[in-house]
């Protein structure tokens, strides 16, 4: 998730072309190590493990027009239908769920950013209350060097994840489906999950850190009690959700936990994100990889890998909801 502004870092310059250790954590570590071994076997960890600080950046000047929407660089995408916006609805609603082990469960998927944010600088730069302070409504997100945007990535993975969860019987809602001109703001994203009475919420992102910083990480809400924010009732359940998602993401994708945040666990706790601070239901963010690193970008732009990412997230949610 390129955290620009409220919950995200500013995008990098574009090229002209375009608590106590729990048993659950202990169980996660072997899985993470296994994922790391697979990761090393298929390409290694990149150029060193210098810790970056790009996960928290100040807001950058917004672009007035959207960047060119380039197709992903993986040839396997050639026959895949494009992820076109659904008809207008707010929030994006789910079709009736199928019968399955998650029947009766509600999952909200929060695709980070919005493809239209580039054209609405004034709207997304206005600040909203996140409990601890005020931050920008939303941000543009980051992109790969070839111009594949984070907003495109998050919607694609969200669509794949929605299909998988519906097959398990869950009722699935998206906070946005490319069906609104910009946003929603981070406070509204939290409110959509809360009002849905979601059993689990996952916000999907890709990071915009420095080249050489690789791997995924899951962001958990810290204990916040300030203003409109009170995460104390959801800290434990959100951690349980995050641990399940991290563990299955390693196994299914073969990706390693981040080499620049999280100390190799794939888990990071933060108190500065409005989407987490204002949530009253179990919620986590997942940074699926670093768009600014060429090796991670090769994965993020692959349709086959994005399907694995969706599968890994789905299996973690299913595991959490089934206990």
Q: 225 — phi, psi (to 5°)? A: -140, 90
Residue 8 pLDDT exceeds 80: no
- At residue 21, the pLDDT reads 38
Q: Report the half-sphere exposure of 140 (CA within 13 A, side-chain side).
A: 25
- At residue 95, the pLDDT reads 56
pLDDT band per the 50, 70, 90 thresholds, residue 142: very high
Instruction: Give every strand in the sheet of 171-174, ordered side by side.
Output: 171-174, 106-111, 200-207, 283-290, 217-221, 267-270
Among the CATH numbers 1.20.120.160, 3.40.630.40, 1.10.3450.40, 3.30.43.10, which is that of 26-43+89-322?
Answer: 3.40.630.40
Share above pLDDT 90 across residues of the chain, in percent, rounded to a whole number: 69
Q: Which of 136, 188, 243, 287 is catalytic?
A: 287
Average pLDDT of the chain is 80
* Nearest Cα residue to 6 out of 184, 180, 166, 165: 184
3-state helix, strand, coil in the chain (%, to 5): 35, 15, 50
User: Would you kindly state where each structural domain of the chain is located, as residue ranges?
Assistant: 26-43+89-322
Q: Are 60 and 276 in contact (CB under 8 A)?
A: no
What is the phi-psi region of residue 87: left when phi exceeds 0, alpha when psi lies from -120 to 50, beta otherwise? beta
User: What is the rounded CA–CA span in Å between residue 247 and residue 149?
Assistant: 26
Find the mean pLDDT for residues 316-321.
Answer: 98
Calculate the alpha carbon distances from 158 to 32, 43, 150, 232, 239 in Å.
Answer: 23, 26, 12, 28, 21
| 144 or 32, higher pLDDT | 144
pLDDT band per the 50, 70, 90 thresholds, residue 93: low
Q: What is the pTM of this model?
A: 0.74
Residue 246 pLDDT exceeds 90: yes
User: What is the rounded CA–CA span in Å between residue 308 and residue 246?
Assistant: 13
- At residue 99, the pLDDT reads 84
- Is 287 among the catalytic positions? yes
- At residue 304, the pLDDT reads 98
- At residue 161, the pLDDT reads 98
pLDDT band per the 50, 70, 90 thresholds, residue 97: low
The tens digit of pLDDT for each residue in 266-278 reads: 999 999 999 999 9
User: What is the rounded CA–CA span in Å between residue 203 and residue 189?
Assistant: 9
- At residue 76, the pLDDT reads 35
- At residue 71, the pLDDT reads 32
Q: Are 46 and 214 in contact (CB under 8 A)?
A: yes
Mean pLDDT check: name the lowest of 68-72, 137-141, 278-282: 68-72
* 34 burial level (CB within 10 Å; 0-12, 13-18, 19+): middle
Four-residue CA torsion sign, 313, 315, 321, 323? negative
């Amino acid at each position: 998730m390129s955290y620009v502004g409220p919950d995200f870092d500013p995008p990098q310059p574009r090229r002209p072309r375009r608590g106590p250790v729990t048993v659950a954590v202990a169980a996660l570590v072997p899985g993470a190590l296994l994922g790391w071994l697979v990761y090393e076997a298929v390409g290694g960890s990149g150029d060193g493990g210098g810790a970056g600080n790009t996960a928290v950046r100040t807001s950058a000047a917004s672009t007035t027009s959207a960047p060119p929407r380039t197709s992903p660089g993986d040839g396997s995408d050639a026959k895949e239908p494009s992820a076109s916006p659904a008809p207008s609805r707010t929030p994006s609603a789910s079709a009736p769920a199928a019968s399955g082990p998650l029947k009766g469960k509600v999952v909200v998927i929060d695709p980070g950013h919005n493809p239209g944010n580039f054209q609405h600088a004034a709207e997304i730069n206005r600040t909203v209350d996140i409990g601890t302070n005020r931050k920008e409504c939303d941000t543009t997100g980051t992109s790969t060097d070839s111009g594949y945007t984070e907003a495109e990535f998050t919607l694609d993975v969200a669509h794949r994840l929605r299909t998988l969860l519906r097959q398990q019987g869950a009722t699935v809602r998206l906070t946005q489906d490319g069906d609104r001109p910009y946003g929603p703001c981070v406070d509204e994203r939290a409110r959509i999950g809360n009002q849905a009475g979601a059993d689990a919420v996952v916000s999907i992102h890709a990071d915009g850190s420095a080249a050489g910083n690789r791997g995924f990480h899951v962001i958990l809400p810290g204990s916040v009690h300030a203003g409109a924010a009170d995460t104390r009732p959801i800290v434990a359940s959100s951690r349980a959700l995050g641990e399940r998602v991290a563990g299955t993401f390693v196994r299914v994708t073969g990706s390693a936990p981040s080499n620049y945040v999280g100390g190799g666990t794939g888990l990071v706790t933060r108190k500065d994100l409005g989407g987490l601070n204002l949530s009253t239901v179990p919620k986590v963010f997942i940074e699926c990889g670093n768009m600014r690193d060429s090796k991670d970008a090769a994965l993020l732009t692959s349709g086959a890998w994005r399907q694995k990412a969706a599968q890994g997230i789905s299996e973690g949610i299913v595991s959490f909801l089934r206990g």
